Every structure is written in C-alpha cells, then in structure tokens.
C-alpha cells in the first residue's frame, strides 16, 4: 500500500517527533513491515519495538491450516497460537523449548525438496513451503516478540488500534473549532486515559510521567 511506504511512514514519524519535541516515544508496536521498522529506527533511534503478536499468529495460521493431514503442521500451529498467552519473563524460554522440540522431530521437513517435472523452468522447490514460512515467522527476530515483557507499558499487539482512528475522528468532530495544537493535546490525553483500564494502569502512567518529566 502506498500509505505504508518508507517515505509516508517517515513523514508521520517526523510529525510525531516534532510534536513530542525532545521526548522520544516510550516504544512502538507494529506488524514488522520493513518500511515501518526502518522509519521508526531512523526517526526515533533504538526505542523498544514490539512485533505485534496478533499479526504473527494470524500469519502463522494462514500458513498452517487447522485441518492439515500433517502432525508437524498441527503442532506448529498450536505453538504459534500459544505465543499470545505468554505473561511472565520465564514464559518465552518455555515457548522456545517447544520450538526446539518441534525442530528435532520435524525439522527434516523444512529441507525436503520436490523435483520439478520435465518442461518446468524451475528444477525443484521446497515440498513444504508454507511450513518453512511459518517456521521463519516464529524464529526470525525472535527476541522482539517479547519486548512487552521487559517494558510492561508497551502492549504485545496493536489490535486495540482497530476502530480507534474512526473514533478519534468522531471525537474531534464533536469538538470542532479547536486549533491544531489543542487537538493534539486533546488526543494525547484521550488516548492516555482510555488506555488506562484500572487504577493500577493510571498509577503506572503517573509514575512514568513523574520519572520522565521531572528530570
């Protein structure tokens, strides 16, 4: 999509950086498209960047059909589904162990090749291409799947953004006449407090603000 090119995302990052002045975002969550990763790193440096676990799981399920005749596919799908239930700093090690066990049992399937019939331009291809794609999805940049466990104010998915944009437009429409700086301030406060679902969340947010802005 044109809206997800490096230039387009870079312009948005620059605009956000200008609004934040000398303060960096606490972190980022994305589906890990190359243009997004590059733009965030270029404009905000080495801020924590969480790979969206919902996107990872959805993509894995596309590669690993539920009704597959292969046990390898079913078991890898089960492992992929359970990445969204990790809650403690010890859980990733357990989840990675499941992947290691799967590889010991079924890893040979990742390198199996099919010889092309006569007349085909390609001489061979990987027999289980989607299985390879799912495996790479779950093992590539693996540590960035668990950023949210180190930085508890960063969510593990950006699913909460679905429908948010239309809701924000409606809120701005209800307050027509505000100048751009006030609109930005309104949206920042609105997002901060609608993301705080409990007193504990508000206390976390307040503690972060105090430690950041009192320096």
Check residue 215 and give its pLDDT.
60
Intervals of the chain under pLDDT 70 = 1-3, 162-163, 165, 213-215
pTM, two decimal places: 0.72
* Secondary structure, 3-state, 120-151: CCCCEEECCHHHHHHHHHHHCCHHHHCHHHHC
Amino acid 3: pLDDT: 59
Domain boundaries, given as residue ranges, for the chain: 1-47, 52-157, 163-213
Burial of 108: CB neighbours in 10 Å, binned 0-12, 13-18, 19+: exposed
Instruction: Tell me what pLDDT residue 2 has.
Output: 44
Give the tokens for residue 160. 């909460």
Q: Find all residues with CB under 8 Å of 202, minimum gap 6, and list them.
A: 193, 196
Please provide residue 126's backbone torsions phi and psi, each rounded to the nearest 5 degrees: -70, 130
> Which pLDDT score is estimated for 1?
39
What confidence score (pLDDT) does residue 5 get? Answer: 87
pLDDT value for 135: 98
Residues 156-180: tens digit of each pLDDT: 998 777 567 678 888 888 888 888 8
pLDDT of residue 162: 58
């Amino acid at each position: 999509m044109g809206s997800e090119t490096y230039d387009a995302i870079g312009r948005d990052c620059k605009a956000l950086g200008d609004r934040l002045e000398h303060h960096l975002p606490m972190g980022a969550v994305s589906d890990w498209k190359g243009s997004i990763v590059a733009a965030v790193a270029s404009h905000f440096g080495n801020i924590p960047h969480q790979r969206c676990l919902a996107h990872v799981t959805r993509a894995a399920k596309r590669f690993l059909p539920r009704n597959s005749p292969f046990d390898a596919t079913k078991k890898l799908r089960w492992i992929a589904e359970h990445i969204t239930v990790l809650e403690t700093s010890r859980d990733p090690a357990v989840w990675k162990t499941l992947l290691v066990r799967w590889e010991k049992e079924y890893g040979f399937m990742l390198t199996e090749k099919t010889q092309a019939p006569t007349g085909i331009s390609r001489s061979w291809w990987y027999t289980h291409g989607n299985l390879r794609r799912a495996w790479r999805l779950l093992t590539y940049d693996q540590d960035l799947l668990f950023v949210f466990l180190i930085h508890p104010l960063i969510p593990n998915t950006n699913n909460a953004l679905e429908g948010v944009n239309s809701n924000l437009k409606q809120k701005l429409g209800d307050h027509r006449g505000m100048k751009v700086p006030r609109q930005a301030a309104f949206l920042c406060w609105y997002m901060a407090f609608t993301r705080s679902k409990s007193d504990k969340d508000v206390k976390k947010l307040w503690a972060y603000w105090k430690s950041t802005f009192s320096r």
